[in-house]
Amino acid sequence: MPEIVMPRLTDSMEEGVILSWLKEDGDEVSIGDELVEIETDKASMVYESDLAGALKILVPEGETRPIGEPIAQVGEPTESSEAPVREADTSGEEGAAPAAKPDWGSNHPEPEDRNRIKASPLARRVAEEKGVDLSSLSGSGPGGRIIKSDVEAAGTDVPPPRKDDEKEPSASRDSGGSASRTEGDVDLARGEPEIVELTRTQQVIARRMTESKATIPHFYLRTLIDMDRAVEVRTAFKAEAAEGEVVPSLNDFVVKATAIALRRHPRANAAFHDEHFELYPRVNVGIAVAAEGALIVPVLRDADHLTLTEISSESRRLAERVRSGEVTPPELSGATFTVSNLGMFGVTGFEAVINPGQAGILSVGEVSERAVVREGQLTSAHQMEVTVACDHRILYGADGAEFLASIKANLEEPGLLA
């Protein structure tokens, strides 16, 4: 019987978690039907069937499988729709048994026992927190899928139900009021800890960041950039923009400046793999977006060929899709370099961790007006601190310095960003 295997939904995906089956055991599925929701290393995504026929689920919800391992089988439609014939009934009497549902074992729940509500994992979490009944909502996502904004629009103030495992503190204490603990347990002075299990995405992020720091020899270069001209150009954009028209942010300027610098410095737009360099012909800039409980990096493809306005529009679109849980595998794949900006949180500077498979990452701090000395006179300027983390196996000190100097030059004279 033809198999559906755990798909590779992102370029760095090694395994996936079955979050929810969107079809039931025995259902007829068609090519293109939304079949299963899978949590990858970057986000949760819906996989559409590439086969047609009767579905046999092999892997239940909540379980993890590596790339390429079968998760379901799809038989010919006749296998579930045609009525079987009793072998002994050849007398011309009624010999056809009534249509029967295939018996694929007791491990798969009956259709009436399964949750048929189509909702993103983020929407489910928000609904649980807010006490929202998903069955009462209409989804605005693809195929009527409930997304985060649908739950938030419900506007309920009902507190979430108390979990069964939330016991009173006294349940774990003896008659003397002290906790019943063995030697070596958590110090009671810190209090009873709340255990928070990591999501699949958080587990993969933790593993990949540990891998990055353990296997990639980072070194860091930082500089201060005079952003006066960039601020002036953005102000002009804003003044000339029609109502509702997109105005590039200063981070859009940074992305464009970085993309141009990557085109001029090919080793920065590359990676070290198995004792050789991989130089990528396309400049695809990943932009770090804070999502609930995770950091997701959608990709601006061919960023060096996009205008500032195009970068601005695409960045906003991708960020919204990340936060709503609707981002797709192609939108998360193929980054050749990453830009991470924490300036909006008042961070002046920081050192980000390189994403494995890239030569570096740019960390961007806030733009602030600071006192400076110019030609012996005290004045002020809009300044921004940036730090580039480099993989020392492919980018050496001078290479990284020249790359960073290009970014600086591009931002200090925004006319170079055309």
Output the DSSP codes for 112-180: GGS----B-HHHHHHHHHHT--GGG----SGGG-B-HHHHHHH---PPPPPPTT---GGGGB-TTSSB-
Per-residue pLDDT averaged across 372-380, rounded? 93
pLDDT for the residue numbered 418? 62
In a domain, 247, yes or no: yes
Query: Is 196 domain-assigned?
Result: no
Return the pLDDT at 182: 53
**pLDDT tens sequence across 56-80:** 999 998 888 998 999 999 987 544 4
**Nearest 5 degrees, angle CA 383-CA 340-CA 265?**
85
pLDDT score of 255 = 97
Q: Is residue 405 part of a domain?
A: yes
Q: Which domain holds residue 278?
A: 213-417
Residue 367 amino acid letter: V
pLDDT of residue 141: 63
Calculate mean pLDDT across residues 130-149. 76
Active site residues: 392
What's the rounded mean pLDDT across residues 380-407?
97
Confidence band of 105 (pLDDT split at 50, 70, 90): very low
User: Which DSSP category does 206 fall into?
Assistant: H
Q: Is the pLDDT of residue 90 over 60?
A: no
Residue 176 lies in a domain: no
| DSSP letter assigned to residue 224 | E
What value does the mean pLDDT of the chain take?
82
Output the pLDDT for position 243. 87
Is residue 83 over pLDDT 70?
no
Which pLDDT score is estimated for 11? 72
Q: Using pLDDT thresholds of 50, 70 and 90, give the confidence band for residue 304.
A: very high
Query: Could you please report the per-residue DSSP string of 57-101?
Result: E-S-TT-EEETT-EEEEEE-THHHHSPPB-TT--SSS--BPPP--
333 in Cβ contact with 240 (< 8 Å): no
Most confident of 201-205, 206-210, 405-409: 405-409
Mean pLDDT score, 94-105: 42
Residues of the chain with pLDDT > 70: what percent? 80
Q: What pLDDT does 155 receive? A: 60
Model confidence at 50: pLDDT above 70: yes
Residue 243 lies in a domain: yes
Assess contact for 11 and 358: CB atoms under 8 A. Answer: no
Q: What does the pLDDT average to over 263-283?
A: 95
Q: Mean pLDDT lowest for which of 41-50, 157-166, 218-227, 273-282?
A: 157-166
Q: What is the pLDDT of residue 77?
A: 58
Higher-confidence residue: 124 or 401?
A: 401
Q: In this predicted structure, what is the pLDDT of residue 287?
A: 97
Measured between alpha carbons, how far is 67 from 76 in angstroms, rounded to an integer?
Answer: 25
pLDDT band at 84; cut points 50, 70, 90: very low
H-run or E-run covering 1 = none
pLDDT at 185: 55
Structural domains of the chain, count: 1
- Residue 146 scores a pLDDT above 60: yes
Residue 76 lies in a domain: no
Q: How far lies 54's CA from each of 25, 143, 355, in Å?
A: 8, 21, 41
pLDDT at 117 over 80: no
Q: Give pLDDT, residue 142.
A: 52
- Report the CATH number at residue 225: 3.30.559.10
What's the token pair of residue 345?
Answer: 């949180």
* Pairwise pLDDT comparison (43 vs 376), residue with the higher score: 376
The confidence score (pLDDT) of residue 390 equals: 98
Give the per-residue pLDDT at 62: 85
Residue type, 95: G
pLDDT class for 172, splitting at 50, 70, 90?
Answer: very low
- Range with the largest mean pLDDT of 166-180, 272-286, 318-332: 272-286
344 inside domain: yes
Q: Is residue 99 part of a domain?
A: no
Rounded Cα gap, residues 83 and 153, in angstroms? 47
Least confident of 51-55, 76-80, 219-223: 76-80
Query: What pLDDT shows up at residue 404?
Result: 98
What pLDDT does 100 receive? 53
What is the arrangement of strands in the sheet containing 34-39, beginning at the earlier edge strand?
Answer: 44-48, 34-39, 15-21, 64-66
Mean pLDDT of 170-180: 45
